[in-house]
Structure 1
Amino acid sequence: MSAVLEPTPARVRRVHRAWWVALLTLGALVATAGFRSSTGALLQPLEEEFGWSRATTSGAVTLNLVVYGLTAPFAAALMARFGVRRVAAVALVMVGLGSALTTVMTAAWQLWLLWGFAVGIGTGSVALVFGAIVADRWFVRHRGLVVGVFSGASSAGQLVFLPVIAVLADGPGWRWAALVVAGTALVLAPAIWLLMADSPAAVGRRPYGADPQSPVLAPEVPVGAARLALVTLRDAARHRAFWILMATFWICGWSTNGLIGTHFVAAAHDHGMPATTAASMLALIGVFDLVGTIASGWLTDRVDPRLLLAVYYGLRGLSLLAVPWLLAEVVHPSLFVFIVFYGLDWVATVPPTIALCRACFGPARAGVVFGWVFASHMVGAGAAALYAGVLREATGDYLAAWLTAGLLCLGAAVAVLLVPQGPVGTDAESPAL
């Protein structure tokens, strides 16, 4: 009887370990995206309680976004050096502590310190670079699709957390919202620590879809994480492809996290829409983005990534140019059309951008190169958050911010077509340090 109940090796191997690792990674990415997006729903409650200006709160968000982005390449190098499990778990603890401490802050510099550095470094360490490294290590087959699912985690994070954050901020208060973020992060940290595996070789497996006859190889361990990040930047910066990807992803960050993610709720509220309704609209963008990004990952396995990016940036630019004439006290059908249209395109740019990093600079350095490209994304987001906040303070509306973002996206649609196809020089083939 016991022999019947004991699982056979065939049954144990039915679900590849890569899918369990992907599930853990997805959970961390969803939560991290929710933590990051919560700042947009908390601007007004903080301003009302402490009397801070929109420039002050937007400045804290800008610092958060910039630190979030600049952390990414160093986090990628740290993951190569110490393993994804350790880095991700420590990062989630930082997010939890940083968010919890905001409940006792009394001055603007404390908001900048906690939102900017503690939460910025923590969320930046468990961001899309984390997902890119996991997908690259654990998957050969369906890699683009998995990257698309991981990219869609940012949308799922908005969907899960943003309405809850908005309701709590509008009801019992913003401190309850901060504690929800803190508690979720502190619960996830031990789960990642105990259950995550750093690579297939660490558990004696091959990546999903790898040749069964291929050897089980552990990832190369670099000598120094900071040196790896900086030397990779130096080598990649010699090539035009890197600068085009940096510039276009900078615009991507400007037009998503920086403008829509940070200011959409406040902009809609300026037009008379309740904050909870606006937050629900932003969460709905996340629903459609989840669909669009997974589809983008599937397309990236089949279509030239440059063409996909040109289409994505072009359509995004046109949609942003229309926003100022769509916002109102209630949700009209035209605004709903924008939500669907823009949502499908929100971070659909991520899978083809990661694919171009891998194609141009090789698999050994793709994670760190994408870390730098992602850093530019968040620096662009930070610049937009501050730019839009200052414009709103000076002019009383967001019109110039919407128009600027739309025109930048149309420029990115043209620029991305100039990225070379294939490896760019000998550095693309060099191994990790």
Structure 2
Amino acid sequence: MAKDNNRESILQAVKERVRQSEELQLTQMIVTAMGERRNRDLSDIISQIEQDRGWAVALMHLSRANQIPYTLPIGAGPNHMLIEELKYREMIFTLLECNGLEPVPITTEEILSELKNEDSLIDASQLLRTDCESLASKQIESGDTLFFDLTNADSSISANIGYLLEKIQSDELANLILEKQDDTINILPLWYLEKGRQTLSQLGIKGTSIDSERFEIVISVIQQNLPTTESTELHVTDKQLNYPSNPHYQKLLTSIINHDIESLSSQSSRHSFHSLKFMLENTLDIYENSQSSSAFWNILSCVNAHVRVRTPESVMLLENLAHSKDTRVATAAITGLGNFYNEASVSALVDLLCRAKNNEVVNTAIRAIKNVSKRCLETKYIVRNATESKLCTNIGHLKRLYKDIWKEVDDYYL
């Protein structure tokens, strides 16, 4: 009898271990999709879990996702690490159809905790949208407009938020007066206005002061006169600035102002794209003039930062870079593209493979496409369609590639 009881205990322990392993595997699937910014796959996984086991279980896995590491591509950072805080937040907000409201002053953990009593993903999305719109309205009215960018926001977000944001931003710019000393303008207050931040980021401006010539460029882009006042010294008091209510976005702003590539990578917010784009283009200019190894390593560092953050805009940037006449630069960009698991990346890589004449570029493109195919189902069909093109100069390579990836097991989430 004792042996039977002991055996029963062992079997129960084995079953529990199997159950825990299955739960961990589900969470890991979510973690990987989030880390690689695969929004559609994340939505599919969560929907399937909800359908099979309910919203409460799906939410449990979402809540645990920031506690389990995912694998980074070689060169993009540590081999394994937890999902970057702002990437995790942006993925959650996109999943719950609240994209654009991320700067509200409530932690991601608190948000998920408040959704535990809801019955479905749809109900959770509606609750979060209502709460976030209320918080966002108060935050924007207070003058804290930073990182509220509704350009690509979900259509379900109230239009009133957009109207309010536009009004407050216009009022802020209209009332802004910047200090000037000789030929130098203090632009720190402009960084703390969302329209100003966007403009300065897009122009690749670094730091808190610029000369009059660059200031004129800022004015031409922002399309509004920004008066200045002469000062014996440049200084800004805390009362002049509306600091982000959410501390993560204060850190992000500081990183953008300083062009801190390490900090931008570690936060991995989509808002860092323009700064990272400028840094990459700047290092390319330096490399073209010097051809030094150190300059090339800086290019790799910038490419890896784009790979880690994985904004959709980076695909087009790397695609252009992949057509560089410098083989080292081209292959670095191609390898980077191989870590963006979407149709845009596949199409860019297949087009490049069809046009390439350099063997190293061809082989790098093939490896990159194979890597994307592990996570992007559409790869097979894009490659197959390309094999029917009469314009492809590497049709033999393409057909062999198609056979290779067709043999692979469809396992896009693991």
Task: Report the TM-score, using the length of structure 2 for normalisation.
Answer: 0.26
Is the helix fraction higher in 1 or 2? 1
Is the strand fraction higher in 1 or 2? 2
Which one has more relative contact order, counting CA pairs under 8 Å at least 6 apart? 1
Task: Report the TM-score, using the length of structure 1 for normalisation.
Answer: 0.25
Larger Rg: 2
